[in-house]
Amino acid sequence: MKEQLIKDFEAEFGKGGEIRTYFAPGRVNLIGEHTDYNGGHVFPCALTIGTYFIVRKRDDRKLRFFSKNFAKFGVIDASLDKLEPTGDNSWINYPMGVMWALEDKGYKISNGFDMLLFGNIPNGSGLSSSASVEVGTGTFLNDYYGFNLTPDKIALIGQYSENNFNKVNCGIMDQFAIAMGKKDNAIFLDTADLSYTYAPLKLEGAKIVIACSNKKRGLGDSKYNERRAECEQALSELQSVVKINSLGELTEQQFEQYKDAIKSPVRQRRAKHAVYENQRTIKAVEALKNNQIEEFGKLMIASHDSLRDDYEVTGIELDTLVEESLKQKGVIGSRMTGAGFGGCTVSIVKDDAIDAFIENVGSAYKAKIGYAADFYVVEIGDGARKI
């Protein structure tokens, strides 16, 4: 892979100079959805699929980008002297945003570069191709310019760029999981203070299977920002009766005690999801520690039900994938993962049932939705790095 990508780079940008290569994974969140901007816990892991970066520093301030995934656009020219969003060829807004964020934080980028990208994360799948590009860009700039940023700081730069350059109010989970990933471990992250522990993912006799609905979505033009605003308003209403800084501070019992302070039934449901999902995530990690994988699966299913009924971010595609998954033998748990409105589901499936699972769920999905889903049996890998 690396050797071929270097050849592709030289075909676009010419030979010579020091060429460096980097990799940033995608991520999947096993449980804890829409909690990361509500001060709650999440439980993501980095994958072995992701984004490759082939980079060579230039002597001037020009930037030249080429993506093998968007080859029809050819080489796109930009400049360090004009770091601002572009409506056309919008994929370059992710690396450009990270450069803008670094400069905004006082880290000066003196030279431009040529960069080739190749991602084997399905675009728009909800496996965080955008955050992968952000963290990968931060990783190679940190290496090239000696900024001495730790991986968690690179994650925060990625989030800052997406919030302020790309105008998507994402939480920290995606960037953190991609920067801090550890092979065969998920990350139990408290998004309120970024404290975390690694939890070995021991799925004896089972694997993680991701089903991509192939319904494309974009976070910025979805209802993601609307959900976040609803939770912020619900929090403000709750703060009139209880002293909290985030919804993640409440237990289920406390929420039921104070929920009538939230004046809208819709906002009440949104806040309920944030509170209950956070508690489900805490329970799920405890279940995993105690090798109670069946209990972990039940909590995954309850998570999906809440995302469907209280948070309303699933849709017919994701609901169909989960419903059909739960009909199959050997399925321990299944839920949507990511922001929703399309994207993927994540299921834990026993090894001897995986082939039938993919065949049966795939057939039922295509019959109902009219087009095919894609399936990935994934492994858990390390975070962003030079390769």
Q: Look at residues 364, 260, 274 and name the one whose alpha carbon lies nearest to residue 321.
A: 364
Length of the chain in terms of residues written = 387
Residue 203, token pair as written in the block: 């799925």
Q: What DSSP string runs through 94-159?
A: HHHHHHHHHHHTT----S-EEEEEEE-SPTTSSS-HHHHHHHHHHHHHHHHHT----HHHHHHHHH
Q: Measuring CA to CA, which residue among 15, 81, 372, 379 is closest to residue 203?
A: 379
Residue 65 is inside which H or E element, if any? strand 62-67
- From the number of C-beta atoms within 10 Å of its C-beta (0-12, 13-18, 19+), residue 201 rates as middle
250 φ/ψ angles, rounded to the nearest 5 degrees: -90, 145
Is there a catalytic annotation at residue 260?
A: no
Name the catalytic one among 36, 114, 174, 190.
Answer: 174
Q: How far is CA 297 from CA 77, 98, 159, 294, 349, in A?
A: 48, 37, 30, 5, 10
Tokens of 209: 């299977």
Strand bridging mode 62-67 / 113-119: parallel
Decide if 342 contacts 353 (C-beta within 8 A).
no
CA-to-CA separations, 271 to 229, 284, 304, 310, 356, in angstroms, rounded: 11, 20, 15, 9, 38
7 Cα distance to chain centroid? 30
| CA–CA separation, 238 and 244 (whole Å) | 8
Specify whether the CB–CB gap between 69 and 118 falls below 8 A.
Answer: yes
Q: Are 344 and 44 in contact (CB under 8 A)?
A: no
Query: Residue 238: phi, psi to the nearest 5?
Result: -65, -35
The CA-based dihedral angle spanning residues 257, 262, 267, 268, taken in that order and rounded to the nearest 10 degrees: 20
Catalytic residue set: 174
